[in-house]
Structure 1
C-alpha cells in the first residue's frame, strides 16, 4: 500500500496541474442517437455509440484493442433510393489519451470520405455492376496530439449499402458477389499496422427507446418492452490496434506488472466536425469554407442523452474532454435520474424504477440521495487517510463540497476513471461496516487528466464470449462474483470474469442502459461496502439484502441485441438487407404476446459441482435465459440458444433454484422456479435456510402464478401492495416444505407495478410484478 501511495504522490504535481487546467468537470455523451437538438438535424455527423474493448479471439488477437465508433442513427435498411452513407466534408475522428503526464490527445485517427457516381444515368444505386454514391476514404494518424498527420490508408473501400440480393448477388444486373465478401474485401491493414474497416452494420445498441423516454417507463407498465434500435443499421468505423501501439511506453499486455497496471489505461472519445460555412450554389452543388467546427462527440454511454439537460446538449457536443465547463459537475453530483429513485422526492412518479432506491442511511449514517452529503463529513479525517479520498491524493476531487453526494462514485466512474485504492475495492475482506478499508481489487482505469472518455485498462484479460460466466452486466457481474463466489473469497488481485466489461471499456454485448441505471441507484457504493439501508452491521446475516437484490435483478426488459455478433473483426454484424425481414414488415406486437413459457424443465447429470438443465423448446424462442441461484443468493443468468445448458462451478451439498426465460424478439416469458440439490460427501438435508419467491408470467394480465420455496411447513401470510403501499390482497395459506404453487387472480388490478410479500414467521420475501391491460 505504501509503495502505491508513494508512486501516486510522486506524480501529484503533474496530475493536479492537469486537473486545474481541465477545470475538473464532469459531463459526457454517448449511445447518443439524436441526443441533442442540433445534431438531430445532421444525422451523417451524429456519433451514435463508442465501444472500446480488448479483442476476443486467439492469443495473438487478444494482444489488440478494438475500437468501434458508430455514426448515423436509426438507418432503415430499405431507406432508398438514396441510401445512408458516410458524409463528405466531415472529419470523423477517434481520439486516444494514454499518458497521465500529457494534457490532450496522444493519438488521433482521422477519416475523410469521398463519393463517386460510376453510372449517373440511372436512378438505381447499383446497376449492371456499376455503383453510384460509391464511398472511399482516407485515414490519417497523428501521434503528436493532432499537430501533424500522416496518411496510413489511402483509397479505402466502403461496401455499398445492403440493398438486396439482386443488387449485390446477381452477376448480370448487380455486383455478382456476396455481402460477406464485400465486408471481407473492405477490411484493410494500415501502413502502420492497424486493421481498419469502414462500412454499414447492424446497430449493436439495444434499448427500449420508447419506454425510457416516455418518462422512464422501462420496463413498461402497460405492454411489452420493444428494442427501439432493433432492425436498424448504422455506419461503423472500426480499428483493431496492437496494445503496444497504444501503451505509452510501447509495452505488450504481457509486460504489465499485474492485470490492473495503471500504465495500461487509455481514454478514448470520438468526434465529428464540419467546416464552419456551407454555401448552397443554386445549381445543385454546394461549397464549404472556414475552420473545422466540432458538432458531435461521444465518450461514456447515454450521458448526453439522459443526464445533460436539453438546454446544454448542443454546447456540450462542441466541447472536448479537456475543456469542459465546470458547471456540468452538478448533473453528476446530483443526477436528475436519482430524483426518480427517491421516495421522498419523485420516486412515485416513475413506477418502473421502483426496484431502484438509493442509499439514504447506508451503515446507518451515510445519505447519497440528491442534496445530501454522502461521504463528505469524512473529508480530511483520519478515516480517509491513505485512501483515494485522502486530501494528499484525490480528496479535493472526490469530496469537493457538501451537497455533492455522488462525487464519490458517479464522478470517478464517468469522469476520471476509478483508481485501485480504497475505498474503490470490493467489500470482500473488509471489516464489517468499514468500506474505507482495503478489499479485493477489481478495477483500475484511473486517467484523470481529461473529462468524458471511455476508459479501458488494457492489461485486464479477455472474458471469452463462450464462457458460461460471460455476462452483459459487465463489471457489475464481476463485482457480484467477487463478493459472493467462494472462488474469489480472498483479497488477492486475480482475474474475475467480466472485469473487461463496462465501465472498464465497453464491449458490444454490455447492457449499458441497465448498468448505468443500477449505478445511479447506488450499486457501486454497495459493492465497496456502503450497503443498502436494510442491512444492519452486526445484525443482518448477510449484506445480500432485499434492497440489493432489487437493484441487481432490475431489468428494462431489453437485455441483448436483436442479432448475434461476429466472432472476429469487425465483430459488428452484417447490416440488415433492404429486402429482408427488417425491410418495413408490419409487426403485430399483440401477436408476439403469444411467446410461450418453457415447459418440461428438468435437472440431470447432477454432481457436487455441476448440473445440466433442459426443457422442451418453444417454437417462437429467439434464445433463452437460464437463471439459477441458491436460497437467498444472487441470481446468475446464462444465455442459451438450444433447450439445454450445463451449469458448472456449483457448491457441493447445496439447494439451487432455477427457471428458464423464453426471449421472443422484444418479449419474454418465464417458467416457474424449480429446484435441484448438488451432491457431495456428508450432505445434510435442508441446506437452504431462507425462503425464495418466483413469479410468472411477468408482466401478467389476469392471473399470476407464484412459486414459493421454503424449507419449513407453516402458515404463511401473503400480501399484494402497489408502489404507494396500498394493500390489494391479504390472505393466509398453508405452505409445505419445498416449492409451493399459488395462482392469484389479478384481473381486477389496474395496469401498474405491484409487489407480492410473503411472511413466514420472521422470514419475509418480496418480489415485484407488472400488470398490463
Structure 2
C-alpha cells in the first residue's frame, strides 16, 4: 500500500497558523450536529445531522467510487406512527467536498424534499372523509397508490460556493424529471411486506453532470452507530474494571440505539468526480439549513404540513464532519455557534482541540487521576482532527479545519478484513487497514473507541512520536501518560457486530414498526 502524502516535520506551525490567522474571525449565530448534541438543534430533529460517512466503496467491483452517507433525524422509534419521520420540505440538506485543502467547499450536493399529499378520502355515510393515516393499504412499489403522503426529492450538484456557484440538476432516468421518490418509512410488515426489496427500488443509477455514472438513495435505515449512550453521558456510569478491559468489549452493556432508525442521504460517485488535479485527499462534511424567517399560521389552511410559512435567506443550523466533535469537544456555550459555522471559520474553536476538557472529565468520572495527557497544546489532536495525518490523509497546503478527510488513493479494505479500530487497530495489531477512521469513516469503524484512544494520547504512544509509517504527530511523549490506559479504554459496545449490508447503501434495512 502506498501513502500519498508528504511528511511534515511537525504540526506545530499549522497550530500557530490556525490560532493566529483564524482566531479573530466572527460567525453568525449557529446550531449543531450528531445525536441531539447541541441545545438549539435538539428542538429541530428533522434537520439534525446524526452521522456522516465517507469512504472508498468496498462493495465488490465498486472500488473506483467514493460513498457519502449523511444521516438525519436521530433516534427514530420504528413504531412512530401515524406520521412517521419525513424530512423537512422547508430545509436544504447538503454534502460538501473540499478537494484542495483550503477549508472551503468545491463541490456541494444539495437535497430538497417535498410531500406529495394525495388527500385520500373514504365514503362514510353520505360524506367523503379524509383518512387520518399516511397510508390506506399495502405498499410494494414507489409512489404506490396506497400512500396518502409520498415524499419526493431533488438533487443538485453545485461547483464552487454553495450559494453562488454553478448548479446543475441530477435527472431521474426512470421518469425523465428532476424528481426522485423516497421510500416510505418501515411502517410494518403488513403495510410493507419485503421492505428490503421495496427500498431497493429506490436506488437510482444516475448520471451526475460532470461526474458520470453514480448512484443515489434516500430513505430510512437502521441506526448504524453503536454506543453505550445512557451510561456514557451519566459520567461514564460503568465499572472501570470493565471499560478498561478490552476483552470485555461486548460484556458490559447493550448498544443503546440498536433498535432505532435514521434517515440516510446516500451517494456513490466516481473518485474522479471529487478529486482535483494530483491531490488525492478530499475533505467532507454535511449541513442542513432552514429559511431565516418562520411565521406560525394562527389558522392554518387545510392540507399537509401547513402550520408555518417560511421565507428569507438560507441559515445553516446543523453541521457534521468528524463524529462526536460537537458532543464531547466543543464547549456548551459554543455548540450552537459551531453548528452555524463553516470549516473556514474554525479558528475560533481552536482552544477546544488544543486544550481539550474531555481527558480531565474522564479523570473525574473514572476516579483515575493522572491519566490525562499534559502535552499541551495538543498538537497531536490538531493533526488528527483538523489537518489530517501526514503520510495518510493530509492534503498539500492544508488549512486547518474540522471535517472528515479521505485519501482516495488508499485502496478500500474488504469488510471482513476491516479493523474495528481503523488506523489505530492497524498500529496496534500490525495489520494494514489504513482505509478507515480517521482516514474517512466507514460504518464498521468504532469511532467512539478510536476517539477515546486519540484524545487520551494513544496515537502518540502507538506511533512512537511520529517515527513510524511517516506520521508527523506533534506529541512530546514525555507529557503523554505512559502505560496502556488509552488503549484499554472503551465504551463496552462493539461497533463491528452491528448488522450492515455488503453494498450500497451499506446501512441496514430499517427496523419495522410491527412484525
Structure 1 position 137, deviation (Å)? 0.3
Q: What is the aligned partner in structure 1 of residue 189 from structure 2?
A: 165
Which residue does the alignment assign to 2:64? 63
- Report the alpha carbon displacement of residue 18 of structure 1 after superposing the two structures with TM: 9.8
**RMSD across aligned C-alpha pairs, in angstroms?**
3.2
Structure-2 separation of matches of 1:268 and 1:113: 22
Partner SS, residue 286 of structure 2: strand
The one of 133, 140, 148 aligned to 1:132: 148
Distance 1:507 1:24 in 2: 35
Distance 1:219 1:227 in 2: 16
1:216 equivalent to 2:244? Answer no
Residue 236 in structure 1 maps to residue 264 in structure 2: yes
Report 1:169-180 matches (<5 A): 169=193, 178-180=194-196
Distance verdict in 2 for CA 1:139–1:19, change over 3 Å: farther
Residue aligning to 1:472:
420
CA contact (8 A) 1:92 1:271 kept: yes
**Shift in CA distance, 115/4, structure 1 to aligned 2, threshold 3 Å:** closer
Which residue in 2 is equivalent to 1:452? 402
User: SS at 2:190's partner residue?
Assistant: helix
TM-score where L is the length of structure 1 = 0.54
For residue 350 of structure 1, the aligned residue among 365, 374, 382 is 365
Q: Distance in 2 between matches of 1:302 and 1:518?
A: 14
**CA drift at 1:556:** 1.3
1:315 aligns with 2:315: no
TM-superposition CA deviations, 1:593-641 (whole Å, max 9, x none): xxxxxxxxxxxxxxxxxxxxxxxxxxxxxxxxxxxxxxxxxxxxxxxxx
Describe the shift of the 1:4–1:414 C-alpha distance in structure 2 as closer, same or farther (beyond 3 A): closer
CA-to-partner distance for each residue in 1:54-112, whole Å, 9 max, x for gaps? 11122x40111111100001000000111011111100000000013x56111000000
Is the contact between residue 54 and residue 406 of structure 2 (CA under 8 Å) also seen in structure 1? yes
CA distance in 2, matches of 1:236, 1:4: 32
Q: Distance in 2 between matches of 1:446 and 1:219?
A: 41
**Residues 248-647 of structure 1: pairs in structure 2 closer than 5 A:** 248-249=276-277, 263-284=279-300, 285=306, 286-326=308-348, 328-340=349-361, 347=363, 349-351=364-366, 354=368, 357-358=371-372, 368-369=373-374, 374=375, 404-406=376-378, 408-420=379-391, 443-446=392-395, 448-467=398-417, 470-482=418-430, 496-530=431-465, 548-560=483-495, 563-580=498-515
Displacement of 1:549 in angstroms is: 3.9
Alpha-carbon distance, 1:20 to partner: 6.9
Contact 2:437 2:445 in 1 (8 A): yes
The residue that corresponds to 2:477 in the other structure is none
Cα distance, 1:514–1:411 mapped onto 2, change above 3 Å = same
User: TM-score, normalization: structure 2?
Assistant: 0.80
Q: Deviations over 1:4-48 (max 9, x none)?
A: 97x989xxxxx99999765599x9998710001100000000000
Counterpart-to-counterpart distance in 1, 2:463 and 2:498: 35
Secondary structure (helix, strand or coil) at the match of 1:226 reads coil
Are 1:149 and 2:167 counterparts? yes
Is the alpha carbon distance of 1:29 and 1:509 closer, same or farther for their aligned partners in structure 2, counting shifts above 3 Å? farther
Tell me by how many angstroms 1:497 deviates: 2.5
1:216 is displaced (CA, Å) by 2.4
- Distance in 2 separating the partners of 1:499 and 1:325: 28
Unmatched 5+ stretches in structure 1: 10-14, 170-177, 252-262, 342-346, 359-367, 375-403, 421-442, 483-495, 532-545, 581-773
Q: Which has the larger radius of gyration?
A: 1
- Alpha-carbon separation, structure 2, partners of 1:157 and 1:133: 11
Q: 1:35-74 residue pairs with structure 2 within 5 A?
A: 35-58=37-60, 60-74=61-75
| Contact persistence 2:452–2:489 (CA under 8 A) | no
Aligned residue pairs, count: 450
Q: Which runs of 5+ in 2 are unaligned?
A: 10-14, 121-129, 138-144, 172-177, 243-250, 301-305, 467-480
CA-to-partner distance for each residue in 1:158-197, whole Å, 9 max, x for gaps?
100100122113xxxxxxxx31222211111233222110
